[in-house]
Amino acid sequence: MQDGRPTSPLWFQNAVLERPGREVGSHIPQKLTAIYLIVLGPIAMVFVSIYLFMQASWLTRLPLASQTLGWTNGQRPIVAVLFVFLALLAAIFSIQYFTILAPRDLCASRPHFDFLWKSVDGFAITHCMSGTDEINAHGLYYFCPSIIQSWGHVAWPLITAFFLAKTWRVWRANTKFAA
């Protein structure tokens, strides 16, 4: 017991016991805003497309994979639309990186495609179209050098589209499409 309160050998239980009225999960370390979605969304879509490609490549190593993965012709367009949607969503988020996000002092001048050649290191990323300090209070900062981050937002949609196209080709070559 510590100060009349029971203690636990686990640190997270001690934290809950030391703060009456607070439960586990009541503290959110970062507020997820549109800034996080625009900056980290294309990167997450790259990981999703790589995961799908690895799954498709793994399925081709299974014996009789074409018999176990039989799709109907109605499912094939749905998967194609989903892949195109993911690639377009990554491109839209990356375009918004240049058109909506900027350091606070540069919000008046848009778009910011000059970030591909100009570095704005160490500034907080501001959502210029929000007009609220609530969204901008918990934002991210530009990498140092920020040119790498800007060129990343050119590359993320291309990498996503590449892996989704490869996944589609692997699935199409190794699955049997029933009528």
Q: What is the DSSP letter of 72?
A: E
Instruction: Say if residues 135 and 123 touch (Cβ distance below 8 Å).
Output: no
- The rounded percent of the chain whose pLDDT value lies above 70 is 69
Enter the tokens of residue 122: 């160490």
pLDDT digits (tens, 9 = 90+) for 74-122: 677 888 889 999 999 999 999 988 888 888 777 777 777 888 888 777 7
Q: What is the mean pLDDT of the chain?
A: 76
Q: What is the DSSP letter of 2?
A: B
Q: Domain ranges in the chain?
A: 1-29, 31-178
Torsion angle of alpha carbons 52, 58, 59, 64, nearest 10°?
170
Instruction: Say if residues 59 and 52 touch (Cβ distance below 8 Å).
Output: no
Enter the tokens of residue 149: 């981050």
pLDDT digits (tens, 9 = 90+) for 124-152: 777 787 666 777 777 777 777 778 888 98
**pTM exceeds 0.95:** no
- The rounded percent of the chain whose pLDDT value lies above 90 is 21
Q: What distance in Å separates the CA atoms of residue 166 and residue 159, rounded to the nearest whole number? A: 11
* Alpha-carbon dihedral sign for residues 119, 34, 97, 89: positive
